[in-house]
Amino acid sequence: MKIIVTGSIAYDYLMTFPGSFTDHLLPDQLAHISLSFLVDKMERRRGGCAPNIAYTLALLGEKPTIMATAGVDFDEYRNWLNSAGVDTSLVHITPDKFTASFFCNTDLHNNQIASFYAGAMSDARHLSFHDIPKPDLVIISPNDPMAMVKHAKECRELGIRYIFDPGQQCARSTGEELAAGIKGAAVLISNDYEFELIRNKTGLGESDILRQCEAVFITRGAEGSSIYWSGEQVIVPAVPEQRIIDPTGVGDAYRGGLIKGMAMGASWEICGRLGSVAATYVLEHVGGQSHHYTWDEFVSRYQDHFGALTL
């Protein structure tokens, strides 16, 4: 199956401040803040929704292609993705910008001060499905908002089956933009908080959305996920973790498992189970691309919790 993953490509710059931010905030000077924190640790991690989803898909034996934009600093990242089995031939490089970057400083009390630089991501709106061979399945994950609206519209025009995953962009998107992305999608997927934003902004509930798409997946963290389709509903439990290291990228891995199930022609419930197993692997590692497993190892873990994997 030809699978295209659209969404952000980003670097995460994560810093640690060995103190408390609040110790340096003067109540009578909050209107004139000018602070600099000397950090004792910084990591740069490969991130972004599109590579995280594609990486899990590659682990699961698929050959996904990323269609997204990156900056002049993408070469090392591209080599990493190519070596992992991800096709980056549709990643467009913007020559005068850096790849989108998330800068986060965390103090000893887990307070955070962060900034996000969109960089080359803002040029994703110039990419078009009209310019490439028709894929079998697309996921539209968080990206430049204009790109998300455009790509959903093009998928409908071209008859391309797609998953709409507005994610963090639910907060920025209008109700009209969200409703447009939902209309005609094979699947709408979000977490429970994002779904409430979608409900409030669009006025659409589960039954309303199911009149416009095939299935709705709502992830609920440790409580698993709820799946709705054709008057049916099932709750898929989360797979117990061996350890909790970092939740970054857990939702993206779930989406990778979901897409793998769709590629296999699995039922919606099995798609959710595959997503649940994939998500737990990420929870046990740092970031969305440091985990690894073989297909046999993945199936074995699936069977430990859900029984035999049958289609």
**Residue 148 predicted with pLDDT over 90:** yes
16: helix, strand or coil: strand
Percent share of the chain, pLDDT over 70: 100
Residue 188: band (very low, low, confident or very high) from pLDDT cuts 50, 70, 90: very high
Q: 188: which strand partners?
A: 164, 216
Q: Residue for token digits 């994997």? A: 309
Buried b (16+ CB within 10 A) or exposed e, 141-172: bbbbbebbbbbbebbeeeebebbbbbbbbbee
Q: What is the distance in angstroms between the CA of the first residue and the CA of the last residue of the chain?
A: 17
Q: Please state, in angstroms and as integers, the Cα–Cα distance from residue 118 to each residue in 11, 55, 307, following that order.
A: 11, 22, 43
Contact 7, 50 (CB under 8 A): yes
Please give the model's pTM, rounded to 2 decimal places: 0.92
Q: Helices in 23-144 by DSSP H: which ranges? A: 49-59, 75-83
pLDDT digits (tens, 9 = 90+) for 67-116: 999 999 999 999 999 999 999 999 999 999 999 998 888 888 878 888 88
Residue 27: band (very low, low, confident or very high) from pLDDT cuts 50, 70, 90: confident
Cα-based torsion angle of the residue sequence 274, 159, 154, 149 in order, rounded to the nearest 10 degrees? -50
**Residue 35 predicted with pLDDT over 80:** yes
Report the distance separating Cα 54 and Cα 141, nearest Å. Answer: 11
Q: 44: which strand partners?
A: 13
User: Looking at residues 197-208, what average pLDDT do you find?
Assistant: 93
**Residue 1 predicted with pLDDT over 90:** yes
Residue 175: band (very low, low, confident or very high) from pLDDT cuts 50, 70, 90: very high
Q: Residue for token digits 């659209």? A: 6
Q: Residue for token digits 């310019």? A: 131
Report the distance separating Cα 90 and Cα 76, nearest Å. Answer: 16
Q: Concatenate the DSSP letters of all residues of 237-249 into one string.
A: PPPPPS-----TT
34 or 186, greater pLDDT: 186
pLDDT of res. 33: 86
Residue 172: band (very low, low, confident or very high) from pLDDT cuts 50, 70, 90: confident
Which residues are known to be catalytic?
Answer: 252
pLDDT of res. 25: 85
pLDDT of res. 79: 98
Residue 198: band (very low, low, confident or very high) from pLDDT cuts 50, 70, 90: very high
pLDDT of res. 51: 97
pLDDT digits (tens, 9 = 90+) for 280-302: 999 998 888 989 999 999 999 99
Percent share of the chain, pLDDT over 90: 81
Report the distance separating Cα 183 and Cα 19, nearest Å. Answer: 48
